[in-house]
Amino acid sequence: MFNKSREQELIVVCIIPAGGEYAMKTYHSVLARLAVSYIAIVLVIVLSLCSVFYLYDSGRDREQLNARSRMTLENAARTLDAEVFERVERIALGLALDKTTDLRQLRGGSWQTYPSRLIGLQELLQAEVSGNAELIEAIHLYEPASGATLSSLYGLVDAASRAANPSLPSDWIDGMLGTPGSSLWTPPRFVPKDAFSRIPGGSGQRLLTYAHAYPFQSTGADSQLILAIDVKEDAIQAVLRNMLPVQYEETWLRGASGAIVPGTAEAAAGGATAPAADASALPALIANADLAAAPGAAGGWIESDSHTVFREPLPTADWTLYSATPHSFYRERSAAVLKLMLGICALAIVIGLVLSGVMTRLIYSPLKRLVGKIRHLAGQPAAAGANEYGLIDTALEHLSGRVVSLEETLHAAGPLVQRDALLKLLRGDSAGPSPKETRLLGDGFGGYTHLRCVVLDIGSRPAGDSAARPAALRELAKLLEERQTAQRRIVTAELSDRRLAAIVADRESGSAGGPAGGMKGTASGANGHGSAAATEAAGEAGLRREEDALQAFAQRLADDGLRRLDVRVQLAWGCEVDRPDRLPLSLGEAESRLKYAYFLPGTAVLSGAGLLERELSTEEIPQPMLSRFRDKLAARQPFEQIAAAVDDLLEAMRTGPYSADYCHFVLANLVFVYSDHLKSIRYNPPSGGRPDLHRQYVGLGHIDDFRRWLLHSVSAFLANTEKRHGERATDTLEAAKRHIERDLSGDLSLEAVSSSVFISAKYLSRLFKEELGVTYTEYVTARRMETAKNLVELGSLTIEQVAAAVGYGTPAYFIKKFKEAYGCTPGNYLREQAKQAHSS
């Protein structure tokens, strides 16, 4: 019957769904059914909404308001923490780690000898205050040993001046000296603008002080210096006013010490109290909110007799933000919402009835044209009272064959669609899979309740052929698919040119030996009472067997990759999930473990909770270990000592509790230190040019390659440096000898002389031993004794004068050294010389 063109058939397919949902009867017109259906739908929906609003309590709206208020308070807490407290801590950290001006210059009174250091340090503090003037009032630096304070505002204040001037703030000093922690925040205090502002009603501002110990990881009691930053309370109130324009007058900030920062300047100055609660009720509201919060909870609220108090701790600082809302606000809001919704429902009924008539006409018009098109294509004349639904049904049956062929085509393309859906699932695409992709994923993992992701990194072939990686990935995927069984399915997807992701799906194990079966068996003991300990032991044993099986599976896969594909494979498992949509969690855990493949190149299977704990760790490698390589390189220590320093650092990265990103940062910094040292001494390798060490480091495969590369470079550097310095050894030695001859009575310590000839003390000592065959001390003593002997022979100087002339502070020690050199005291030597002259 339908023998027209394909374009005409497609027109029918696109329009039919608008009316195909109704029952196909031979009576009643389409127009009447559409009108009745639309009117019924409008009435049912509107009346249902009215019933819902009347049956549901207004408490739902109140909960939404509470949730919105809590979200607003949470955003305000994060903003306040980032713009004030965390920013102040970053400023303190920046000052402590500033390389241009060392804070330790205030220690030990060294600034009295070099006042310019004190001036530079104060200029640094003043510059930091100027750069953050809207937040910081002043920065102070206090030395507990001497009691001296250096302030950007007051300058240098010694202990006596500070004791004589009680107006100078010192609460943070007493607090830090008595705290076991490394930092603290002091309660707000009022600071007058000037001396006349101390009278009641005078002008001024309120300040909080953040104090931190120096060194940065020391406690307050053991600190060498204390760094304090005065923070303006106005900055906190400005953030609250910006983030909480309506509630900021009912908002407070409380620290760990119990100090409270009001949301308005009037409340802070005592000129007005917050409208939400008076000053006496505020501590009780905050205390109740703290008691109602669960331990470790991020925040929440509590109902009191007249208010709802919200609390939200700041993410990094030990402060908590509070806000109080009166209950009258909820009642007014709830009544207004109910009245509004009733009015909307009444208006919706009227509008719905009008629209139902309009939509009936609009939808019936294309449907009528569709029926006419079908009659025209079928060659049927228009007949009054004909069954229009039957005509549409016949057209649908005719097109069903076409739809079947289209489904067969889509089924043939199923594997490609499934692969795209799998990649989208693993990447956690927020758009979500299409219905077709969802169905294919269900077919692929239907019946599987144990799913894990494993990520495989093929690294490189032993020959270094990176171009062969795509083929190796395909072969590795085939190798994985060969291990499928009736109870296990493996699906693979390429993540990059060197990484392959595989989903290992296992069916639910119903055997008694598994964890589930073991629990069932123990629960069916005598009288229905089994042993809880036996149940737990059986479950743990099952889990251990499962983990052992996974480890064995992964190890065999790594061995087969090396033996059959000539590829070094490292892989990591993710956690087990029960649904495909949770696979991104398992993939993320596997990729987190695989980060440590760089630091564990000899480990084929990266597993265990220890690697995940390292990923979350914030620990850092001790500073002496980090600086050992730099110090030994700068001092030109033997290659063995430099290599030992590098090995200790790399071993700490392999076995220590440090995250992979932090270890990569340390390695990059190590390369930077080495490169910076080569530039500082203007080192040029024999091959010419300056090598790009960072580019070479980035191209290394793992930490063993890094060690070989770095130590080879350092060895070549030391060898070339020794050759270059060997040619200048003679000139340097002669310069040192001339300096000794000129200054026999002065400071001839090894450090002083080596500094005068611009080499290290150890290198100068080695030059004396290698070139002259004596130690530096022996040479200096010999020259002093020879000069002393000549002065004694003159006979015009006293023993004290001779000793001072050759650099000895006491005559007794000079006489001892003279006797060791010549076998007699200076006086005996002079008398012996006189006898010889008289006899001759």
Q: Return the higher-pLDDT residue of 558 and 28.
A: 558
Check pLDDT > 70 for residue 53.
Answer: no
Considering the domain architecture, whether residues 602 and 458 belong to the same structural domain is answered as yes
C-alpha to C-alpha distances, 123 to 115, 161, 232, 789, nearest whole angstrom: 12, 21, 21, 56
In terms of average pLDDT, the best of 47-56, 608-617, 774-783 is 774-783
pLDDT of 279 strictly over 60: no
Query: Is the domain of 207 the same as that of 187?
Result: yes
Domain interval for residue 747: 729-839
How many domains are contained in the chain? Answer: 5
| Tokens 């002997």 sit on residue | 789
On whether both 191 and 267 belong to a single domain, the answer is yes
Instruction: Note whether residue 745 is domain-resident.
Output: yes
pLDDT in tens, 431-485: 565 665 565 565 566 667 788 888 888 764 443 455 556 677 777 777 777 777 7
How far apart, in whole angstroms, are the C-alpha atoms of residue 600 and residue 598? 6
- Stretch 819-828: mean pLDDT: 88
- Assess whether 311 and 356 both reside in one domain: no
Boundary (domain end) residue, out of 580, 614, 648: 614
Whether the predicted pLDDT of 328 surpasses 70: no
- Decide if pLDDT at 516 tops 50: no
| pLDDT tens-digit series, residues 582-598 | 888 888 888 888 888 88
Closest CA to 739 of 722, 755, 716, 715: 755
Residues 309 and 299 sit within 8 Å (Cβ to Cβ): no
- Of the candidate ranges 156-165, 397-406, 455-464, the one whose mean pLDDT is the lowest: 455-464
C-beta of residue 267 within 8 angstroms of C-beta of residue 273: yes
User: 299 with 177, same domain?
Assistant: yes
User: Confidence class of residue 423 from pLDDT cuts 50, 70 and 90?
Assistant: low
More confident of the two residues 113 and 555: 555
The residue with greater pLDDT, 544 or 714, is 714
Q: 318 with 29: CB under 8 angstroms?
A: no
pLDDT value at 15 more than 70: no
Residue 421 lies in a domain: no
Q: pLDDT-based confidence at 271, cuts 50/70/90?
A: very low
> Among 290-294, 563-567, 619-623, which range has the highest average pLDDT?
619-623
| 191, 171 contact by CB (below 8 A) | no
- Average the pLDDT over 129-140 and give the result: 90
Strands 319-326 and 251-255, sheet pairing: antiparallel
State mean pLDDT over 306-332.
77
Tell me the torsion sign for CA atoms 368, 373, 374, 379: positive
Q: Could you tell me if 101 and 159 lie in one domain?
A: yes
The 3-state DSSP class for residue 116 equals helix
pLDDT higher at 483 or 791: 791
For tokens 């790009």, the residue is 692
Pair of tokens at residue 4: 């027209």
φ, ψ for residue 499 (rounded to 5)?
-125, 140
pLDDT at position 817 over 60: yes
Q: Give residue 61's pLDDT.
A: 63
Residue 410 has pLDDT above 80, yes or no: no
490, containing H or E segment:
strand 488-494
Residue in the block written with tokens 């290290």: 760
Structure tokens at 653: 């990265």
| Residue 82 DSSP one-character state | I
By DSSP bridging, strand 605-606 and strand 570-573 are: parallel
CA atoms of 651 and 657, how far apart (whole Å): 11
Instruction: Report the DSSP beta bridge partners of residue 491.
Output: 503
Mean pLDDT of 101-125: 74
**What percent of the chain is helix, strand and coil (3-state, nearest 5)?**
60, 10, 30
Residue 588 host element (H or E): helix 583-594
Residue range 718-744: mean pLDDT, rounded = 77
- Residue 161 scores a pLDDT above 50: yes
Nearest to 606 by CA among 654, 543, 668: 654
What pLDDT sits at residue 513?
A: 33
Residue 433, in any domain of the structure:
no
Residue 585 and residue 482 share a domain: yes
Residue with the bigger pLDDT between 4 and 225: it is: 225
% of the chain exceeding 90 in pLDDT: 2
* CA 759 from centroid of its chain's CA atoms: 43
Structure confidence at residue 298 as a pLDDT band (50, 70, 90): low
The CATH number of the domain holding residue 814 is 1.10.10.60
Q: How far is CA 212 from CA 22, 229, 354, 465, in A?
A: 76, 9, 72, 54
pLDDT at 789 over 70: yes
What pairs with residue 319 in β-bridges?
A: 255
Same domain, 625 and 598: no
Span of 23-37, 212-226, 381-395 with lowest mean pLDDT: 23-37
Residue 541: CB partners within 8 Å, gap ≥ 6? 518
Query: Could you give the CA distance from residue 394 to residue 722 in angstroms, rounded to a whole number?
Result: 98
Any domain includes 439: no
Residue 4: pLDDT band with limits 50, 70, 90: very low
Residue pair 814/788 in contact (Cβ under 8 Å)? The answer is yes
Both 460 and 552 in one domain: the answer is yes
- Name the most confidently modeled range: 160-174, 654-668, 709-723: 654-668
3-state secondary structure of 487: coil
Alpha-carbon gap, residue 719 to 360, rounded angstroms? 94
> On the CB side of 348, how many CA atoms lie within 13 Å of its CA?
16
pLDDT grade, residue 663 (50/70/90)? very high
Using the predicted structure, report yes or no on whether residue 645 has a pLDDT greater than 80.
yes
pLDDT in tens, 234-266: 888 888 888 887 766 678 788 777 677 776 555
Rounded-to-integer distance, Cα 343 and Cα 279, Å? 42
So what's the pLDDT on residue 33? 67
- In DSSP notation, 491-525 reads EEEE-SSSEEEEEEEEEPP-STTSHHHHHHHHHTS
For residue 239, give the nearest of 84, 87, 129 by alpha carbon.
84
Among 108-112, 472-476, 823-827, the range of highest mean pLDDT: 823-827
pLDDT tops 80 at residue 838: no
CA atoms within 13 A on the CB side of 257: 16
Residues 39 and 741: their CA atoms lie apart, in Å, by 117
- Within a domain: 167: yes
Nearest 5°: the CA angle 766, 771, 772 is: 100
Q: Is residue 419 part of a domain?
A: no
- Which three-class secondary structure state does DSSP give residue 448? strand
Question: In terms of pLDDT, which residue wins out, 408 or 271?
Answer: 408
Q: Are strands 183-185 and 570-573 parallel, antiparallel or unpaired?
A: unpaired
In sequence order, what are the beta bridge partners of 492? 502
User: Bridge-partner residues for 452, per DSSP?
Assistant: 504
Residues in a beta bridge with 227: 141, 212
What are the tens digits of pLDDT across the range 174-193? Answer: 888 888 888 888 888 888 76
More confident call, 665 vs 679? 665
Q: Do residues 638 and 658 touch, judged by C-beta distance below 8 A?
A: no
Q: What's the whole-number mean pLDDT along residues 738-754?
A: 88
602 lies in the same domain as 503: yes
Euclidean distance between CA atoms 495 and 502, whole angstroms: 10
The answer to whether 239 and 257 are in contact (CB under 8 A) is no
Q: Are residues 499 and 536 in the same domain?
A: yes
**Dist. CA 706–CA 646, nearest whole Å:** 10
SS3 assignment, position 321: strand
User: 223 and 214 in contact (C-beta within 8 Å)?
Assistant: yes
367 vs 404: CA distance, rounded Å: 25
Q: Report pLDDT for 278.
A: 46
Nearest to 252, CA basis, from 267, 236, 265, 263: 263
- Whole-angstrom distance, CA of residue 508 vs CA of residue 271: 70
Domain stops at, among 581, 614, 647? 614
Residue 310: pLDDT over 70: yes
Rounded Cα distance, 793 and 566, in Å: 86
Mean pLDDT, rounded, for 743-771: 85
**Does any domain span residue 423?**
no
How far apart CA 173 and CA 144 sit, in angstroms, is 9
Q: Could you tell me the two tokens for 531? A: 């042993």
What lies within 8 Å, CB to CB, of 491 at 6+ separation is: 422, 444, 502, 503, 505
End position of a domain, from candidates 568, 590, 614: 614
How confident is the model at residue 555, as a pLDDT?
75
Q: Per mean pLDDT, which range of 154-158, 307-311, 333-337, 555-559 is the poorest?
A: 333-337
> Among the listed ranges 70-84, 761-775, 794-808, 815-829, which one has the minimum average pLDDT value?
761-775
Which tops the pLDDT comparison, 60 or 90? 90
**Which tokens in the block code for residue 471?**
């083929």
Q: How far apart are CA 622 and CA 656, in angstroms?
A: 11
Asked whether residue 752 is domain-assigned, the answer is yes
Residues 541 and 661 in one domain: no
CA 55 to each of CA 117, 478, 591: distance values in angstroms, whole numbers, following the listed order: 76, 61, 51
Section 385-396 average pLDDT = 69
ω before 215 within 30° of 0 (cis)?
A: yes
What pLDDT, on the 0 to 100 scale, is given for residue 665? 92
Whole-angstrom CA distances from 335 to 59, 330, 622 are 11, 9, 63
Average pLDDT over every residue of 686-704: 80
Q: Cα–Cα distance between 22 and 26 in angstroms, integer?
A: 12
